[in-house]
Chain A
């Protein structure tokens, strides 16, 4: 019997991907052998580094205010590092990217494009939200935080919608493969065309959620009347985030490819392989649907932070 080996292979590959993810996101204490310990140290390190970078950004903005554009490269560089580190923690974007790419058939190039585009879009969303509320609507930055909260809900709803879309799509395909005559001898299974809708929904569901760090930088930049510098810092942040999430996307795509290759060695029945691939994709859709619903639920029921109300 070979049917049970395939899911096992996929499980192994997923575990591999998960541990790669843990390694990639926790960086970098090669001496520590205990993964729990390494994880704890890495989290503490990321938090400390993030605090230093955040304070560094405030200092760098003040330096630009005092010395002019000569201090701008330092600001942009700090923004980039902040983006790299900020992306190196758990977050909804990374989970969407990993889940989507580990369960859906996408090429490596499209996987990286998904990660990079959605990260850059996050920066653009933050810039649009803050500048629209403050400069066009002439509202306060606290209003922009509220607008960001509403957009966040849209982004979570999109995660759920993406999940529902994938569930429907792969359920239909599974149903069709059952009703058509199995054809294991003709040897060609038509690969489905690349899925534009899912791809775009994934980008939007991640990219529409503005990063709080970016909003705070823009607020301070506007307070100091340094709009251009603020935008430059946020774009650099997004580029840093894109770097980290692209690495993650690469791992997820490669893990899926590896699992698929492993599966085709274990089982040569193309129809069955396609069915199992659809089943995995269906489960990925279910997971995204559940996650989107859970994020929506927690966000709607979660009290606003006591110091961010008003």
Chain B
């Protein structure tokens, strides 16, 4: 019956923005460091996440009320969070000439409060060290679910450790979601993760070019 078909079509149009949880509810101010080994290959990245006050209160409330030792408690939360982040590649997207670089493991982490805000710092290795002269490295840090918005401190960009930074150019591309990407992103279910996630379109991408 055509009335039903047309009515259904109208309803599908009405229902199309189905993403129910897409906008961020927590914020991370980001700093990052790319670490190169003795042969000048990219071997690890260090991320420094400064959480917003709400997320901090959410975590910190637990030890202020329970009287747990703050530093031991925060360390436990950080270890738990990092374990949970493994399947999300630690919100880290590293590519060389567009090809994804596989990550290894977290080899160091630290966490504490800075004033009213929680921070987490960790180093994650690359599965295979990458030669920066072989191609441009694109480096983005984002929450694919876009529940958290991750952005560099205004004006900040990744620092390079272990090679001469003058040999490279670093440029942080601001997020430029196209209408098509946004439309596509909003058509997805809100539990999408990985490369298909909404967060990617709202990520800053650092382009590191050391090809001279």
Contacts and interface: CB of A to CB of B under 8 A. Distances in A.
Given A10-B7, A14-B13, A40-B177, A216 B58 contact: yes
A276 interface: yes
Nearest to A89: B23
Contacts of A34: 179
A217 interface: yes
Interface in B1-56: 2-4, 6-11, 13-27, 52-55
10 contacts: A7-B7, A8-B6, A14-B14, A25-B17, A40-B177, A145-B58, A298-B191, A303-B191, A307-B148, A309-B81
A15 B13 contact: yes
Interface stretch (B59-67, B96-104, B158-166, B203-211): B59-67
Contact of A47 (B9, B24, B53, B193): B24
Interface stretch (B105-113, B123-131, B180-188): B180-188
B124 to A, nearest CB: 14
Contacts of B8: 283
Given A58-B54, A99-B15, A216-B55, 10 more contacts: A7-B6, A15-B13, A21-B14, A134-B61, A141-B57, A279-B3, A298-B189, A303-B191, A307-B55, A307-B85
A115 B57 CA distance: 31
B22 A90 contact: yes
Contacts of B2: 4, 7
Nearest to B63: A140
Contacts of B191: 298, 301-303
A310 B14 contact: no
A294 B55 CA distance: 29
Interface of A: 3-4, 6-8, 10-11, 14-15, 17-18, 21, 25, 34, 36-37, 39-40, 43-44, 46-47, 50-51, 54-55, 58, 62, 86, 89-92, 95, 98-99, 102-103, 134, 138, 140-142, 145, 212-213, 216-217, 219-220, 222-224, 276, 279-280, 283-284, 287, 291, 294-295, 298, 301-303, 305-310
A142 B62 contact: yes
Contact of A92 (B7, B20, B81): B20
Contacts of A46: 23
B6 A307 contact: no
Contact of A220 (B23, B53, B202): B53
A212 B25 contact: yes
Contacts of A141: 57-58, 61-62
A250 to B, nearest CB: 15
A199 B46 CA distance: 53
A216 B25 contact: yes
Contact of B58 (A36, A62, A90, A219): A219
B7 A11 contact: yes
A306 B13 contact: no
A115 B108 CA distance: 50
Interface of B: 2-4, 6-11, 13-27, 52-55, 57-58, 60-62, 64-66, 77, 80-81, 84-85, 87-88, 116, 145, 147-149, 177-180, 182-183, 186, 189-191, 193, 202
B17 A90 contact: yes
B20 A99 contact: no
Nearest to A34: B179
Nearest to B5: A7
Contacts of B24: 47, 50-51
Given A7-B2, A216-B58, A283 B7 contact: yes
Contact of B11 (A91, A222, A287, A309): A287
B77 A58 contact: no
A20 B12 CA distance: 16
A18 B13 contact: yes
Contacts of A14: 10-11, 13-14
Given A54-B52, A90-B17, A40 B7 contact: no
A223 B57 contact: yes
With a 10 A CB-CB cut-off, give which of B14, B65, B145, B183 has the most chain A CB atoms: B14
B15 A11 contact: no
Contacts of B16: 18
Nearest to A209: B20
B61 A222 contact: yes
Nearest to A212: B25
B53 A15 contact: no
Nearest to B20: A92
A37 B182 CA distance: 10
B77 to A, nearest CB: 7
B87 to A, nearest CB: 8
B3 A54 contact: no
A47 B65 contact: no
